[in-house]
Amino acid sequence: MELKLDAWSQNDYEQFIEYLKSVSDDDYKKFSDSLVPSINHSFGVRVPILRNIAKEILKGNYSDFLSLKKGSSREEIMIEGLVMTGIKCGYDELLSLIKEYTEKIDSWETCDIVSFKQIKKYLKEFFNDIEYFIYNDNPWAVRYGFGCLMEFYLNDEYIDRVFEYVNSVNSDFYYVQMMQGWLIATAAAKCRDKALKFLENNTLNDVTQNMAIRKMRESRRISKEDKEYILKFKRDKNMHL
């Protein structure tokens, strides 16, 4: 199908759905659905194909594409997000796109695969707006916010404030806890001393604390000595790491 269109109609989008079905893979659908059991619907299209589709759409009238009514499949959500990430724009529009996309997220997959790299150009501005995400009522927006902190802000300039934000969110949503743990483990590879100090002294719930320790022990970037050392910070001894 030609994806570089000067205009998109709803009929074009219906043909687009048929195209997605034609490039799907039943084996991959079974595999991806098993990883994301909560997903509503999927066709089974591999992520590299989704990225290429988004690149082609961006060569045409992507605004028309974004304005169309869409379904709730993982592919439709991710393609929309991947198109958004390719739009060259100023900060205000970028922030609006990120907010719009986080409202569509419904799984760790649609959350984690879509990255707005333009944030690198606006680190200070976006950091000033990060509370919109990490204190959002939508837990997927919270996960996305922590994912952005992990991707763009684990450095000497921001690390102290990043840990303050991690410590300030006491979520019972598993996928937020997982992202917080992942963030701490990644920080330990980049800012070791501060990460270990944070593990020793924080107000995280036991699940999140232990998730961070588990992620660190799984990491290839953490030394064997540190992997043994952090066990002393495990909260509930009955929890499996």
Could you tell me if 55 and 147 lie in one domain? no
pLDDT, tens digit (0-9, with 9 covering 90-100), for 197-223: 999 999 999 999 999 999 999 999 999
Could you tell me if 136 and 198 lie in one domain? yes
Could you tell me if 180 and 204 lie in one domain? yes
Which of the 8 DSSP states describes residue 59? T
pLDDT for residue 40 is more than 70:
no
Could you tell me if 56 and 117 lie in one domain? yes
For 179-203, b/e burial (b = at least 16 CB within 10 A) is bbbbbbbbbbbebeebbbebbeebe
Could you tell me if 73 and 47 lie in one domain? yes
Considering its fold, how many domains does the chain have in total? 2
Could you tell me if 86 and 164 lie in one domain? no
* Cα distance between residue 147 and residue 158, in whole Å: 14
pLDDT, tens digit (0-9, with 9 covering 90-100), for 42-56: 999 999 999 999 999
CA nearest to 140, candidates 118, 113, 121, 117: 113
Could you tell me if 23 and 113 lie in one domain? yes
* Cα distance between residue 215 and residue 68, in whole Å: 40
Could you tell me if 72 and 143 lie in one domain? no
* Cα distance between residue 186 and residue 205, in whole Å: 19
Could you tell me if 120 and 175 lie in one domain? no
Which of the 8 DSSP states describes residue 138? S
Per the structure, the complete domain to which residue 83 belongs is given by: 1-127
What share of residues in the chain are helix, strand, coil (percent, to 5)?
Answer: 65, 0, 35
* Cα distance between residue 211 and residue 154, in whole Å: 19
Could you tell me if 25 and 142 lie in one domain? no
Could you tell me if 185 and 111 lie in one domain? no
pLDDT, tens digit (0-9, with 9 covering 90-100), for 55-109: 999 999 999 999 999 999 999 999 999 999 999 999 999 999 999 999 999 999 9
Q: Select from 58, 93, 127 the last residue of a domain.
A: 127
Q: Select from 79, 102, 127 the last residue of a domain.
A: 127
**Sign of the alpha-carbon dihedral angle for 65, 66, 69, 70:** positive
Q: Select from 127, 152, 177 the last residue of a domain.
A: 127
Could you tell me if 142 and 66 lie in one domain? no
